[in-house]
Structure 1
Amino acid sequence: KMKKLALIITALLFSLNLISAQNKYFLQFPDEWKFKAADNFEFSKPDYDDSNWEKIRIDKVWEDQGHDNYDGYAWYRIKIFIPSSLKDDAFLKDSLRIFLGKIDDYDQSFINGKIFGINCRNADEKTSLDNSFTDERPIPWNVNRNYSLSVNDSRILWDKENVIAVRVYDQGGAGGMFSGGAAIRMLDLNEFLICGHSHAPYEFTKGKISKSFSLNNISALYSIKGKFTIKAEGKIDGKIFFEKSYDVELRPNSSQNFAYSLSSQDQSSLIRYIFDFAHNNSQSVFNDEAPYILTPVSSPAPKINGAKVYGQRPGRPFLYTIAATGTRPMTFEAVNLPAGLKLDKKTGIIKGRASEKGVYKVTLKANNKIGTATSILKIIIGDKISLTPPMGWNSWNVWGLAIDQEKVLASARVYKEKGLLNHGWTFINIDDGWEIEGSSPDPKRDSNGNILCNSKFPDMKALGDSIHALGLKFGIYSSPGPLTCGGYTASYQFEINDARSFASWGVDYLKYDWCSYGKIAKDHSIAELKKPYYVMRDALDSIDRDIVYSLCQYGMGNVWEWGGSVGGNLWRTTGDITDTWQSLSQIGFSQIENAKYAKPGNWNDPDMLVVGWVGWGPNLHPTRLTPDEQYTHISLWSLLSAPLLIGCDLTRLDDFTLNLITNDEVIAVNQDPLGKQAIRKFNENGTQVWVKELEDGNHAVGIFNLGNETQKIAVNFSDIGVRPKNKIRDLWRQKNLGEFSGKFETAITSRGVMLFKLTGG
């Protein structure tokens, strides 16, 4: 623990936004800074008068603070007194760290009018000041800005007021400093101690979970000594059930391996890795949570899963795969198929073209050596597609721009190998990075204006055919502007060409991302926001293929109010999600005012799933969400009738992640044919209750504990608008809990959820 610094500074000496040292080793910035949505290098100078600037928080994007739809340059400023005691009291006296957190999209950072950082890298004070920093490849939004200066650097004014100014450029969507926690501190030994627990997955074996990892000293000069303790305790009962300590000495550039094994639990366990440093009695604590599996193992008997309704336009290519779990081999039957459709009895794939409009109630059967399962699928040949939220995989959250054809095919193969196809997962979607870079001297289109793929995608038609052969659907990405968000060739003024190319490749899904169209649009009026999406909609209407149309423009102009009118099947309602609780909770629990616009064929999209191994490419890591946060993630997205697009490396699926995405009773909430989005019915003291009306007249309910401690929560049925007497089924455990009158009470871990179905008592 840090020692408090006995330093008293008369408040009158400094302005209200001047902060002082809070302990010997650490200066914490407040989250409230000065802000101006304009651009002038004079703003970096220490004597610039910012008294008329507005105040803004750096733990939220500026769109959430009165600057909706603002793209371009803006400046943040704050004053800070940096005492020489900060370096005098430090064990290492080499460097000063300036941590600014996450910034969307680009930054130039200044101290006392002199630049010290640009887009995550340290900058010499002689660096030229221009706008070229905005031409660099975008910095991933989940990367912290962490800059360093030598303690002898003349840019630092020791024992004086310093002015930190950050110039931000946002190219579209959410913008600004947004993660909070900015601070100044001295380099210390704890920065050289790396605990590898977060990159080491848990292994499930015979009723136990185990982990192997290493402690690493990355310093080339200093040794690290201390005591290292691994401690595990239940999150609900708080009981410590594992504890072991080690005396550790890590020489420069060395590591030590550790391993432990725990009994599998039916709740999350908090794991703490505690290092007590010998040199100054300080402590570093690394937190972890052990995963726990709730989804029961699928029965060997056949069971038909997936959506109960499917829509297609007349005469368009039809592809539907019967999702069924159970021992293979399995054969399939389909009675009352529309004319023009044919079932492959061995694979369960239904193909063809149905020309006659109508509603067809098709009886599906799945047979294996154990028995037969029967289900009704309603096929609607009409004007609407995407009658349930799309379920699939998207490459962005895992590979980013490092995606290639083999990674896509590998993901598709996992659908079959791991059985995702049997639970209704359908789409394999390529995001940005398949096109030719805008800065490349190579041709971007052929002589007929048809878009060309880069060398990572040598045959897009063959790729689509391979995906379809597995009974899956194929998705792709583009932008209405001249360039995609990653700087690749996009569809501006070639919309019809691209729609025809997509059709020829067999594309079933298009994500159309605003990106550089911000430089084309005249303003942010609703008419200008709609315009590029109308253009591509018209292009898609001209081809002989149904393509699910995903509008990606981050919720600008309340897109949920008009997305359907431009032909969108789904629309992003927020900025991009990251694998943090802050991002997940802010996005997920804000889906309130858009609820009434969700319905079959039109879905609110709070962005993709961040479970499993993610990284936005090419370097991956296990999601930083805890197991409880991941259960909350899947539960909330299911209640919201949100598109379910997995964003992880499917080839590294572990048992826990597989349990999250193959629970058929949870998926059924998302795929319910009524298509209603859950409504928040209760919100008090860190507890939220969301209720979703189901087609059968019953309700799915999620009780969420948004707090940091386990809570015992009682929910009165009258408070959430359901019947006074109900039977309750735990959907994750697929277990009936009994009949309850008036209320239901349960203990829920921090940031966890109880997801259940209420049926009439």
Structure 2
Amino acid sequence: MKNRTNLFLFVVAAFLIASCAGKQAKPVTENQDKQFWQYAKTPPMGWNSWDCYGPTVTESEVKANADYMAANLKQHGWEYIVVDIRWFVANDKAGGYNEKDPVYTLDEYGRLLPAVEKFPSAADGKGFKPLADYVHSKGLKFGIHLMRGIPVEAVKKNLPVMGTNVKAADIYSDSLQCGWLHDMHTVDTLKTGAQEYYNSIFNLYASWGVDYVKVDDLSRPYHHGEISMIRKAIDQSGRPMVFSTSPGATPLKWANHVVNHSNMWRICDDFWDNWKMLEPQFKRCADWAPYIGEGHWPDADMLPLGHIALRAERGTDRMTGFTKTEQYTLMNLWAMFRSPLMFGGDLPTNDEFTLSLLTNDEVLAVNQNSSKNKQLKAENGLIVWTADVPGTENKYVAFFNINDSGTSEISVNLAELGVAGNYTVKDLWSKEDKGSVTDKFTVSVEPHASVLVRFSKMK
């Protein structure tokens, strides 16, 4: 009897393990109908000034990039123009930050304003509204970067928090100050007036017409209190704003919280243009894939492609350091992972090859309209990702060779994809027909290279 019992338990355990194999964990959400998820029903696509200009971008440069996007990219789904870090410092520099004698621009309530030296249209208290209006006139959306917390300068001057009897010195903490930039103090979420301060800044951004906020220094350590306050502040402002947390790596243990409070969150530190940074992204994307969903997107960071580092925080003026092969691999991973697509290159000096990466509608469709995206298998540096084409029996499949040497064959069979029948296969970059398959499909993939195809069921 004991042996039979043990055999029964073994069979049950084996069945449970087999039934769970290959399935991904699903995030437990507090509410399946978050209103703010409607602000980013697909992964946001846009341009951000960081990779080009670091903390030094000017109004004319932002407008030039908006003009290019409107003329060349908008029809392919690109829509956000985002001004990155330190737009409020009049005398910043490339190759780092001016922390020696920064000239800050604040209003009487300790709220940061655009420096008119960089953004002339912000004069007379207009803030970013004239620039946002310009971007909106192009049929695009406008975003800004900000740092977590309250300005150190506001605390030094002990400026009042708008609409309260509280002052800046009453709500700040000198603990957990950002270690790499010291413009801000932590907001003590337990203090009276803390939420009101965040409300006041997001009400200001709403009045400017901001559509997107990238909030820095939130993820490591994970500042859940301030993230919750920012969520409430955006909601009470009455203006839809996509909320992006930065930088990474967001701890996986906080996945449920970040899903329920933001639209996108970084899974890594700042990502730059070399293979050493791209290779670890494969595991990160696989780990975060279960949390991909409408309105909430794990963010693999910007696309450092094209002409970058004109006046960047690091590095010198250059075209991207990725080879063309690696650029396809980057685009294929970001597409299959459904990462937000924030282009970092200077658009007015773009080249034809880079433009071709940004305007392949079939590849962009993988990013914008696919489901059940996951890493199917990974062994010895050979990786396969799959995704469904919604409403069909068709599949997207990406094959990656992340090894440094040796061309390898990578195969997938229809059973692994969960389908059967006769399928045609199309390469989404070359547009070539790769024939039909009823069982197994094999591709030869060079080091650092990838192949992205669509399996379409034949009628």
**TM-score, with length taken from structure 2:** 0.75
Counterpart of 1:557 in structure 2: which amino acid?
Answer: P
Change (3 A) 1:534 1:616: farther
Q: 737-746 vs 749-758, which deviates more?
A: 737-746
SS, match of residue 455 in structure 2: strand
1:486 Cα deviation (Å)? 4.6
Matched ranges for 1:180-259 at <5 A: none
Contact 2:211 2:240 survives alignment (8 Å): yes
- Whichever residue aligns with residue 720 of structure 1, its letter is E
Q: Which residue of 1 aligns with 2:67?
A: 413
Displacement of 1:664 after TM fit?
A: 0.2
Whether 2:376 is the aligned partner of 1:723: answer no
TM alignment of 1:578-657, pairs within 5 A: 578-615=272-309, 617-618=311-312, 619-657=316-354
Structure 2 vs 1, CA of residues 683 and 553 (structure 1 numbering), >3 Å: closer, same or farther? same
Correspondence 1:474 to 2:142: yes
Deviations 1:562-614 (A, max 9, x none): 2122x200111111111110101112442122211110000000111111112
Q: 1:575 aligns with which of 258, 265, 269?
A: 269
Contact 1:611 1:623 in 2 (8 A): yes
Aligned counterparts of 2:338 and 2:102: Cα–Cα separation in 1 = 44
Q: State the SS of the aligned residue for 2:55.
A: helix
Structure 1 gap segments, 5+ residues each: 1-310, 314-381, 519-523
1:396–1:616 contact (8 Å) kept in structure 2: no
In structure 2, which of residues 17, 39, 45 is the aligned counterpart of residue 385 of structure 1? 39
Tell me the residue number matched to 1:274: none
Cα deviation digits, residues 2-26 of structure 1 (max 9, x gap):
xxxxxxxxxxxxxxxxxxxxxxxxx
What is the CA–CA distance in structure 2 between the aligned matches of 1:442 and 1:688, rounded to whole Å? Answer: 49
Aligned with 2:249: secondary structure? coil
8 Å Cα contact 1:600-1:675 kept in structure 2: no
Q: Name the CA shift for 1:478/1:441 in 2 (closer, same or farther; >3 Å).
A: closer
**Mapped contact 1:714–1:743 kept (Cα < 8 A):** no
Deviation per CA, 1:71-124: give whole Å up to 9, x if none.
xxxxxxxxxxxxxxxxxxxxxxxxxxxxxxxxxxxxxxxxxxxxxxxxxxxxxx
Of 677, 692, 696, which aligns to 2:391? 696
Whichever residue aligns with residue 708 of structure 1, its letter is D
RMSD: 2.5
The residue that corresponds to 1:422 in the other structure is 75
The aligned amino acid for 2:110 is G
Structure 2 residue identity aligned to 1:498: I
Residue 656 of structure 1 and its aligned partner are, at CA, apart by 0.7
Whose Rg is larger? 1
Mapped partners of 1:733, 1:312: distance in 2: 39
CA contact (8 A) 2:273 2:322 kept: yes
The one of 387, 394, 397 equivalent to 2:48 is: 394
1:505 paired with 2:208, answer yes
Cα deviation per residue 1:493-534 (whole Å; 9 max; x = unaligned)? Answer: 53222101211111100001116x97xxxxx5xxx6311111
How many residues in Structure 1 have an aligned counterpart in Structure 2? 370
Mapping of residues 244-283 of structure 1, within 5 Å: none
Cα gap change, 1:686 to 1:652, in 2 (>3 Å): same
Q: Secondary structure at the match of 1:447?
A: coil
Q: Distance in 2 between matches of 1:399 and 1:620?
A: 10
The residue type equivalent to 1:430 in the other structure is V
Equivalent pair of 2:88/2:104 in contact (CA under 8 Å): no
Contact 2:399–2:410 (8 Å) recurs in 1: no
Secondary structure at 1:756's aligned position in 2? strand
Aligned partner letter, 1:510: V
Aligned to 2:168: none
**In the alignment, which residue of structure 2 is the partner of 1:76?**
none
Q: Shift of the alpha carbon at 1:616?
A: 7.2
Higher relative contact order (CA 8 A, sep 6+): 2
> Secondary structure of 1:592's match?
helix
Match of 1:543 in 2: 237
Structure with greater proportional strand content: 1
2-structure distance, mates of 1:634, 1:441: 37
In structure 2, the residue matched to 1:682 is: 377
Asked whether 1:432 is paired with 2:85, we answer yes
Aligned residues of 1:478 and 1:491 also touching (Cα < 8 A): no
Which amino acid is the alignment partner of residue 60 of structure 2? E
Contact 1:628 1:749 in 2 (8 A): no
Corresponding residue SS for 1:755: strand
TM-score, normalisation: structure 1:
0.46
Find the counterpart in structure 2 of residue 457 from structure 1: 119
* Residues in 1 aligned to 2:65 and 2:106: alpha-carbon distance in whole angstroms: 28
Pair 1:739 & 2:436 matched: yes
- Structure 1 consecutive aligned stretches of length 4 or more whose deviation exceeds 3 Å: 437-444, 482-494
Task: Report the residue type matching 2:217 in the other structure.
Answer: W
